[in-house]
């Protein structure tokens, strides 16, 4: 692996005239290592760029795992093979194409098997394309007020739109696909690849008229997936008098109205489950609003966390429910001035949330997002919510006056020791949950000051709590195209011991 200072890394990229080709766009296609070690110019942290060519790579959203169960491969999507899934071996740097028939929405990497689960529009063209990674057109738009690239697993178009770049309405039917990663990696290494169908299994197909929207989570037992749906009878039998959400329902209807300046958030929508062995589809719950960010508790079977997606602040962002539809409740009950976003399950009993403070207190108090929303006048920062006791603690926030303004996307280590967050300057922070110390781990200062990263860095810890994966445009010639990056937790932090006595 090459070790390059920042300027030399940029020069090396610019000097490359030829990049690896994925023109055949076939499963098992391999590309040589692009690994580069770049020292962060501000913090000195060694950043391992697992990809470094400016194709445009994107990590899985921070609500879902990125590493395969053996800890050797990182799953990502890329323009190397439009609309398809890629994997990079963290040790060797080898890059392997995982699908060739496309997908849309969230990628669900199994934690206990070498499988990947995804949604596919079976009526879409056979080749991978932009349309294949886009959710259906009625799905919500960008998840927040970000200037570029917002939204899990790619931007989502407005209803009925066909954008430049290939967005097209889905055709259906929608199927859940199981991809056998271990066999792909083994056959690709030997050069003995079979047809794509031999590495996949159709787990089941949604009933006609039931629309999937890409938001999907894999149960901790890896026998069910849960996903957002609309159509058919979704919402028709909604109990509008249910006190859990009756305050949000428009009088005389079964839905909530849109919230905020983006005209999003209205419903109804639902959660459905699919049995991965039988293909049986069942209703979990219907709600009057627009569901987003469907995720599961990786340690507790049948526990589902999701959000009310408005494209920004919601009246009540975070929700939890069990797979049989019981236990539906707000995860963190919000005040009108709370701007809560980017929830992520981090331990078996905890969910991290971001309470934003990115707006200046001098702005008008009453905005389309609500009175004093995200001005920092009220408590904000990385919040940790306990699923069992319902208690919440704020453990860190970007310092007052810092150019990052506020924490934005959050995550936490499975061992409970660390939390992580990015900010509005696309920088990475880490927090010691025992001591409260907050450290700027990586500034990722770009070489090229022009352009803007295609998306936020979305930090995710690995299963061993020793490192994070992010996406960054730090070494991209245009300052826009993203690469896959691994950032270590400082060795001095990992070596820390905690006790009740002050040090001598």
What's the CA dihedral at 192, 128, 202, 124 to 10 degrees?
Answer: -150
Residue 30 host element (H or E): strand 30-31
pLDDT at 365 (0 to 100)? 56
Q: For the purposes of burial, counting CB atoms within 10 Å of the CB of 23, is it exposed (0-12), middle (13-18) or buried (19 or more)?
A: exposed
Instruction: Measure the CA–CA gap between 34 and 450, rounded to whole angstroms.
Output: 24
pLDDT at 171 (0 to 100)? 73
Instruction: Measure the CA–CA gap between 400 and 229, rounded to whole angstroms.
Output: 41
pTM here is: 0.88
Q: Which residues make Cβ contacts (< 8 Å) with residue 486, sequence separation at least 6?
A: 47, 48, 50, 74, 90, 467, 468, 469
By the 8 A CB rule, do 323 and 275 touch? no
pLDDT at 98 (0 to 100)? 98
Per-residue pLDDT of the chain (504 residues; tens, 9 = 90+): 544 444 344 333 333 322 333 344 699 999 999 999 999 999 999 999 999 999 999 999 999 999 999 999 999 999 999 889 999 999 999 999 999 999 999 999 999 999 999 999 998 764 433 333 333 223 222 233 332 233 333 333 322 334 433 445 567 899 999 999 999 999 999 999 999 999 999 999 999 999 999 999 999 999 999 999 999 999 999 988 889 998 999 999 999 999 999 999 999 999 999 999 999 999 999 999 999 999 999 999 999 999 999 999 999 999 999 999 999 999 999 999 999 999 999 999 999 999 999 987 766 656 778 778 888 889 999 999 999 999 999 999 999 989 999 999 999 999 999 999 999 999 999 999 999 999 999 998 765 556 789 999 999 999 999 999 999 999 998 889 999 999 999 999 999 998 766 656
pLDDT at 6 (0 to 100)? 42
By the 8 A CB rule, do 199 and 29 touch? no
DSSP label at 67? B
Q: Give the domain ranges of the chain.
A: 2-494
- Burial track 111-139 (b if 16+ CB lie within 10 A, e otherwise): beebbbbbbbbbebeeebbbbbbbbbbbb
* CA angle, residues 190, 192, 193, in degrees to nearest 5: 120
pLDDT at 165 (0 to 100)? 37
By the 8 A CB rule, do 212 and 237 touch? no
pLDDT at 360 (0 to 100)? 76
CA-CA distances (angstroms) from residue 390 to 219, 338, 380, 385, 393? 22, 17, 18, 6, 10
Given 2.130.10.10, 1.10.1660.10, 3.90.1710.10, 2.60.40.10, which CATH number is that of 2-494? 2.130.10.10
pLDDT at 26 (0 to 100)? 93
């Amino acid at each position: 692996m090459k070790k390059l200072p920042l300027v030399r890394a940029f020069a090396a990229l610019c000097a490359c005239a030829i990049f690896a080709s994925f023109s055949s766009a076939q499963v098992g296609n391999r590309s040589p290592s692009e690994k580069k070690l770049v020292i962060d110019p501000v913090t000195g942290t060694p950043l391992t760029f697992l990809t470094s060519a400016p194709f445009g790579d994107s990590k899985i959203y921070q609500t879902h795992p990125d590493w395969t169960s053996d800890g050797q491969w990182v799953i990502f999507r890329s323009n190397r093979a439009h609309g398809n899934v890629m994997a990079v071996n963290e040790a060797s740097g080898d890059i392997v194409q995982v699908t060739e028939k496309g997908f849309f929405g969230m990628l669900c990497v199994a934690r206990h098997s070498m499988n990947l689960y995804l949604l596919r529009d079976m009526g879409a063209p056979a080749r991978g394309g932009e349309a294949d990674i886009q959710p259906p057109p009625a799905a919500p738009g960008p998840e927040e007020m970000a200037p570029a690239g917002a939204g899990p697993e790619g931007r989502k178009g407005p209803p009925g739109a066909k954008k430049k770049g290939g967005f097209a309405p889905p055709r259906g039917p929608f199927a859940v696909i199981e991809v056998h990663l271990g066999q792909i990696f083994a056959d690709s290494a030997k050069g003995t690849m079979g047809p794509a169908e031999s590495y996949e299994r159709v787990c089941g197909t949604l009933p006609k008229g039931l629309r999937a929207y890409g938001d999907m989570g894999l149960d901790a037992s890896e026998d069910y997936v849960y996903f957002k749906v609309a159509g058919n009878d979704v919402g028709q039998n909604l109990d509008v008098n249910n006190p859990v959400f009756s305050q949000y329902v428009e009088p005389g209807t079964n839905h909530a109205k849109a919230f905020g300046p983006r005209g999003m958030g209205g419903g109804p929508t639902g959660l459905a489950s699919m049995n991965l062995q039988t293909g049986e589809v069942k209703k979990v719950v219907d709600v009057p609003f627009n569901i987003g960010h469907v995720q599961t508790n990786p340690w507790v079977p049948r526990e589902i966390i999701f959000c009310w997606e408005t494209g920004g602040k919601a009246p009540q962002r975070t929700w939890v429910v069990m797979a049989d539809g019981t236990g539906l409740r707000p995860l963190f009950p919000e005040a009108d001035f709370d701007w809560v976003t980017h929830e992520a399950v981090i331990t078996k009993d905890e969910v991290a949330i971001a309470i934003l403070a990115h707006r200046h207190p001098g702005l008008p108090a009453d905005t389309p997002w609500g009175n004093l929303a995200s001005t920092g006048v009220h408590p904000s920062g990385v919040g940790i919510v306990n699923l069992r006791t319902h208690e919440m603690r704020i453990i860190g926030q970007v310092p007052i006056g810092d150019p990052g303004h506020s924490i934005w996307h959050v995550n936490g280590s499975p061992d409970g020791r660390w939390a992580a967050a990015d900010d509005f300057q696309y920088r990475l922070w880490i927090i010691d949950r025992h001591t409260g110390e907050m450290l700027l781990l990586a500034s990722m200062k770009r070489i090229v000051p022009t352009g803007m990263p295609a998306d936020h860095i979305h930090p995710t810890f690995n299963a061993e709590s020793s490192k994070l994966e992010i996406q960054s445009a730090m070494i991209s010639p245009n300052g826009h195209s993203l690469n896959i990056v691994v950032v270590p937790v400082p060795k001095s932090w990992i070596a820390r011991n905690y006790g009740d006595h002050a040090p001598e």
